[in-house]
Amino acid sequence: MNIYAVKAIYVFEMARTFRTIYQSILAPVISTSLYFVVFGAAIGSRITAVEGVSYGAFIVPGLVMLSLLTQSISNASFGIYFPRFTGTIYEVLSAPISYVEILLGYVGAAATKSIILGVIILATATLFVPLQVAHPLIMLTFLVLTSITFSLFGFIIGIWADGFEKLQIIPLLVVMPLTFLGGSFYSVNMLPPFWQTVTLFNPVVYLVSGFRWSFYELADVSLWVSIGMTGVFLTGCLVTVWWIFRTGYRLKA
């Protein structure tokens, strides 16, 4: 294992976060705070509690998940796309480093940033709503698993994209709508039966549901189904990344 190489990529990527701290950390914290103000305090005060949990507190897991997904994808996709765009990827490709080590460096850094952000958002949430975490270990598991999975997904997008527009298409046109429609701001049970069924095709539902369960023991689907679906998506991403490295897709001619 080329530990020095993994460390070099990891530290290099983390340094980018601290160099762009307003964009990386402050902006998501402010936007999440605004969600709390608008949905939690202003509108939420007029909405009755959802299954015994105040609306402000109910949306906390969904909001964390929203930031986690978008930031994981954004961090990881940019992390690998930028060297491809500038041409500095030549150095990574010519270094004595395995594909697993490349992943550990890039995806590890992206996931770390997301986890830090998730924790900051949770800390911010406590300023607005009373927060309880019924199962901290499960909560942490979902936080880490989701960050890794969607960082892998972002890494795939960063390899696939051949322009800055494509880099934004999936996060903005697919992930964001799926997150909003994935029960971040409501319980799936509030929907008419037909839409409840349709919603089950949205993978984000399982993430939000499982994550919310770790806070309030409230879930739209079983915890194990949530964990299983996250595992399926993680496996799918790993297989895709393996294929990318095996074929050299958009990395090696």
**Interaction site with other proteins (CB under 8 A):** 2, 4-5, 7-9, 11-12, 15-16, 19, 83, 86-88, 90-98, 248, 252-253
**147 and 119 Cβ atoms separated by less than 8 Å:** no
* Minimal distance, residue 86 CB to other proteins, in Å: 5
Looking at the Cβ atoms of 99 and 195, the one nearer to other proteins is: 99
Contact call for residues 146 and 64 (beta carbons, < 8 A): no
| CB closer to other proteins out of 48 and 94 | 94
Specify the residue, 86 or 132, whose C-beta has the smaller distance to other proteins.
86
Residue 53's SS3 state is: strand
Half-sphere exposure of 118 (CA within 13 A, CB side): 27
Cβ atoms of residues 60 and 131 within 8 Å:
yes
Q: Which is nearer to other proteins, 7 or 239 (CB)?
A: 7
Query: Please, what is the minimum distance in Å from the beta carbon of residue 187 to other proteins?
Result: 44
Question: 161: left (phi > 0), else alpha (psi -120 to 50), else beta?
Answer: beta
Check: CB of residue 160 under 8 Å from CB of residue 153.
no
CB of 140 to other proteins, least distance (A): 30
What pairs with residue 50 in β-bridges?
A: 53
Tell the smallest beta-carbon distance from residue 27 to other proteins (Å): 18
Cα 38 to Cα 25, 44, 133: the distances in Å are 20, 8, 23
Name the residue nearer to other proteins (CB basis): 195 or 249. 249
Cα(208)–Cα(206) distance, integer angstroms: 6
Supply the minimum distance, in Å, between the C-beta of residue 150 and other proteins.
Answer: 25
